[in-house]
Amino acid sequence: MPYWWPSVDTTDTSGYCLSWRLAVESNNIRAWRTVPTQCSRHVEAYMTAGQYQRDLNLIVDNIFTYIDSIHLPYDGFDAWIFDVDDTCISNLFYYKGKRYGCEPFDPLAFKAWALNGACPAIPDVLRLFNKLIQTGFKVFLVTGRNEDTLGQATVQNLDDQGFFGYERLFLRNDSYKGQSAITYKSDIRRQLVGEGYRIWGNVGDQWSDLQGDYVGNRTFKLPNPMYFVP
């Protein structure tokens, strides 16, 4: 008996954009430079009309369940890692001006935005962050932001948004110049493991936050269809 396969309406832009976003989040499409022009409104609706928030809520609730299953030895070496941009704090307002990722990344424009220190906390992640601190984890923040140009603004922005009590914030310095995010973040995690830390969890909005070496016991990918960091 022949297999039946439904026909596909190739003119259905909404359907295409749903498929494109799924492929991005599952890391089947890689090294993409911009959101497809026809998907600008789809990404805008996803990010602003509630589905992004629902997805975040589901992921964070599952992380809470995982945390509650861990029996900590409370020796001070139980670690958790967070990315910063679009993990702890949001650049949604910046990307609104870039048509939600349809325009190429502009490093100078992003630097000017980040220097304002106006990135709001992502509430579900702040809730998770506080849960981890209260539970006894040592939380480390690892970002690709440049230490010399954005270090002070980043620290202040995090402080203003309620991210208190983390163990250390790692920013890129000249020794990591030109390295991919995977290489840079793997090296930071290697250092922490070398210091004796056990990485129980690792949260980021990019696959490059969660790939490479010493990724931890569990990794959790937050949605971000606006840009790709290799």
In a domain, 227, yes or no: no
E-strand stretches of 29-186? 78-82, 138-146, 168-172
Domain that holds residue 120: 13-221
Q: Is the pLDDT of residue 166 over 80?
A: yes
pLDDT of residue 13: 87
- Rounded-to-5 percentages of helix, strand, coil across the chain: 45, 15, 40
Q: Distance between CA 81 and CA 145 in Å, rounded? A: 16
pLDDT of residue 44: 98
Cβ-contact 148, 115 below 8 angstroms: no
In a domain, 2, yes or no: no
Report, as an integer, the average pLDDT of 93-109.
97
Q: Can you tell me whether residue 88 is helix, strand or coil?
A: coil
Among residues 133, 117, 215, 194, the alpha carbon closest in space to that of 167 is found at 133
pTM across the whole model? 0.94
pLDDT of residue 14: 87
Domain count for the chain, please give it: 1
In a domain, 80, yes or no: yes
Report, as an integer, the average pLDDT of 177-204.
97
Q: Is the pLDDT of residue 1 over 90?
A: no
Q: Is the pLDDT of residue 33 over 60?
A: yes
CATH at residue 148: 3.40.50.1000
Q: Is the pLDDT of residue 3 over 70?
A: no
In a domain, 114, yes or no: yes
What distance lies between CA 5 and its chain's CA centroid? 36
In a domain, 3, yes or no: no
pLDDT of residue 8: 47
In a domain, 6, yes or no: no
In a domain, 84, yes or no: yes
Average of per-residue pLDDT values in the chain: 95
Cβ-contact 34, 6 below 8 angstroms: no
pLDDT of residue 12: 66
Q: Is the pLDDT of residue 2 over 70?
A: no
For 92, list phi and psi in degrees, rounded to 5: -60, -40
pLDDT of residue 225: 98
pLDDT of residue 6: 54
In a domain, 229, yes or no: no
